[in-house]
A = this chain, B = another copy of it.
Amino acid sequence: MVHSNLSALDRLLSQKLRKTMGEAPIRIVVGGTEGKSGSAGKPVATVVIPDRRTLAGLVLNREVTFGEAYSQGRIRIEGDLVKMLEALLRPTRSAADRSWYGKLMSRWLEWVQANTLKGSANNIHRHYDLTAEFYRLWLDSRLVYTCAYFPDESTPLERAQVAKMDYVCRKVQLRPGDSVVEAGCGWGALALHIAKRYGARVRAFNISREQIRLARERAKQEGLTSRVEFIEDDYRNISGRYDVFLSVGMLEHVGRENYEDLGRVIHRTIGDAGRGLLHFIGRNWPHEFSPWIRKRIFPGAYAPALTEAVRIFEPWDFSVVDVENLRWHYAKTLEHWLARFERATKRVTEMYGAEFVRAWRLYLAGSLASFRVGALQLFQVVFAGPNYRQIPWTRAHLYQEESRPAAAEKWTHVTF
């Protein structure tokens, strides 16, 4: 506790805010005057709140008010933004209880951002149809916008994204001649990699027009159009039969009200003899996604608990074969992205303005903090139908150098 010169109302509000923050070692300054400080020693950062209105907003609806005011430059952070967010986002079951206003807002977001066919198209458009030029500024050269896999911590991002794609392919034992369907394909990196390195045929679905356009261009440039097809459509409209179902970083956009449908789609496309992999941001227990992230960054997003995701498979007698939590790999991926983003802020400001830069900084820093403290997890779930008979005897093959993709180059020229 430090000395406070605030008015009685400001003091009350600042106490209430403090209460929602637990023991976080963060200094709060309201309108130039110091409010209550964290009880846990040396603060990692100071939050400068400009006025009573913002302070009251934080009490009523902490995450959204903070996100908006930070983006608009009204709230300033002095010190380490990521460390501050780590202190705030450290999960406790009680932290998941929001104020009545926060709950109301959350329900409202769920309603206006519902993942109907049309709703999903809008939700995806808002995030992924920003120009590829923007994403090129801070993603790897292949534009892989999901958690990378770092064989060791010092692996460069570029190689870690290729390692991730190979890891996914090894996990589903991709073989030449396999047919693969990918639900949510981004700018097509994984589909192209599979067609090129594993000699498999891929049909990849995505409702982001910009991403599909670029993916198709790449397929043409790389001479892969006979083996990879990019389809601008919703996962619910996937048709055809395949050996393998892959979805990397799409489940977060499906919405739990549609998980049953997704299970039906998976079974319809790979039947009882197929196998597949879901790669998604998850939680340790079921609770809603950050309302500010949903409002400004990822409309309609929901990160499921592992139990919720695994339930997708239950009606179809699919077996869960392997689950891996790659939470620390996403933290590392985000370290790379955030550092690259910070180096590109001048250009991003020219493109979208300073408010956009601050909002995206907060999103990237908040995601990094969330993976570090365990508020978010990253799960890869391998599953197989009851009639898939080639589950490998152990998982050792995932970690053997000789099974790595270089050896698969010979498949590049297989034709179908």
Q: Which residues of A contact B (CB under 8 A)?
A: 90-93, 150-153, 284-286, 305-307, 310-311, 313-315, 317-325, 327-328, 373-374, 377, 379, 386, 391, 393-396, 398-400
Question: Could you tell me the distance between the alpha carbons of A374 and B316 in the complex, rounded to whole angstroms?
Answer: 13
A288 to chain B, nearest CB (A): 15
Contact of A317 among B93, B152, B315 (CB under 8 A): B93
A24 to chain B, nearest CB (A): 15
Tell whether, in the assembled complex, residue A310 and residue B307 are in contact, meaning their CB atoms are under 8 Å apart.
Answer: yes
Contact residues in B for A151 (Cβ distance below 8 Å): 394, 396
Tell whether, in the assembled complex, residue A394 and residue B386 are in contact, meaning their CB atoms are under 8 Å apart.
Answer: no
A55 to chain B, nearest CB (A): 30
Contact residues in B for A394 (Cβ distance below 8 Å): 150-152, 399
Tell whether, in the assembled complex, residue A328 and residue B393 are in contact, meaning their CB atoms are under 8 Å apart.
Answer: yes
Contact of A325 among B319, B327, B393 (CB under 8 A): B319
Question: Could you tell me the distance between the alpha carbons of A317 and B400 in the complex, rounded to whole angstroms?
Answer: 33
Tell whether, in the assembled complex, residue B317 and residue A395 are in contact, meaning their CB atoms are under 8 Å apart.
Answer: no
Question: Could you tell me the distance between the alpha carbons of A377 and B323 in the complex, rounded to whole angstroms?
Answer: 14
Contact residues in B for A91 (Cβ distance below 8 Å): 317, 386
Besides A284-B386, A317-B374, 18 more A-B contacts (Cβ < 8 Å) are: A92-B317, A93-B315, A93-B317, A150-B393, A151-B396, A153-B393, A285-B314, A286-B314, A306-B310, A307-B310, A319-B325, A319-B377, A320-B325, A320-B379, A321-B325, A328-B391, A395-B399, A398-B399
Question: Could you tell me the distance between the alpha carbons of A307 and B313 in the complex, rounded to whole angstroms?
Answer: 10
Tell whether, in the assembled complex, residue A311 and residue B307 are in contact, meaning their CB atoms are under 8 Å apart.
Answer: yes
Question: Could you tell me the distance between the alpha carbons of A307 and B400 in the complex, rounded to whole angstroms?
Answer: 31
Identity of the chain B residue whose Cβ is nearest the Cβ of A282 in the assembled complex: B320
Contact residues in B for A286 (Cβ distance below 8 Å): 314
Contact of A313 among B284, B320, B379 (CB under 8 A): B284
Interface pairs A-B: 4 shortest CB-CB: A323-B323, A285-B314, A396-B399, A307-B307
Question: Could you tell me the distance between the alpha carbons of A132 and B335 in the complex, rounded to whole angstroms?
Answer: 56
A44 to chain B, nearest CB (A): 18
Tell whether, in the assembled complex, residue B320 and residue A306 are in contact, meaning their CB atoms are under 8 Å apart.
Answer: yes
Question: Could you tell me the distance between the alpha carbons of A373 and B373 in the complex, rounded to whole angstroms?
Answer: 41
Contact residues in B for A307 (Cβ distance below 8 Å): 307, 310-311, 314
A262 to chain B, nearest CB (A): 16
Contact residues in B for A399 (Cβ distance below 8 Å): 394-396, 398-400
Contact residues in B for A391 (Cβ distance below 8 Å): 325, 328
Contact residues in B for A310 (Cβ distance below 8 Å): 306-307, 310
Tell whether, in the assembled complex, residue B319 and residue A322 are in contact, meaning their CB atoms are under 8 Å apart.
Answer: no
Q: Known: A151-B394, A314-B305, A374-B317. Contact between A324 and B325, CB under 8 A?
A: no
A97 to chain B, nearest CB (A): 14
Residue contacts A-B, CB under 8 angstroms, 18 given? A90-B386, A151-B396, A152-B394, A284-B314, A285-B317, A306-B310, A307-B307, A307-B310, A310-B310, A317-B374, A322-B323, A322-B324, A322-B325, A323-B323, A395-B398, A395-B399, A398-B399, A399-B399
Question: Could you tell me the distance between the alpha carbons of A150 and B285 in the complex, rounded to whole angstroms?
Answer: 33
Tell whether, in the assembled complex, residue A315 and residue B374 are in contact, meaning their CB atoms are under 8 Å apart.
Answer: no
Identity of the chain B residue whose Cβ is nearest the Cβ of A90 in the assembled complex: B386
Tell whether, in the assembled complex, residue A284 and residue B93 are in contact, meaning their CB atoms are under 8 Å apart.
Answer: no
Contact residues in B for A377 (Cβ distance below 8 Å): 319-320
Identity of the chain B residue whose Cβ is nearest the Cβ of A325 in the assembled complex: B321
Contact of A284 among B306, B318, B395, B400 (CB under 8 A): B318
A317 to chain B, nearest CB (A): 5
Question: Could you tell me the distance between the alpha carbons of A400 and B391 in the complex, rounded to whole angstroms?
Answer: 21
A283 to chain B, nearest CB (A): 9
Contact residues in B for A305 (Cβ distance below 8 Å): 314
A98 to chain B, nearest CB (A): 17
Question: Could you tell me the distance between the alpha carbons of A317 and B92 in the complex, rounded to whole angstroms?
Answer: 8
Contact residues in B for A395 (Cβ distance below 8 Å): 324, 395, 398-399
A35 to chain B, nearest CB (A): 28
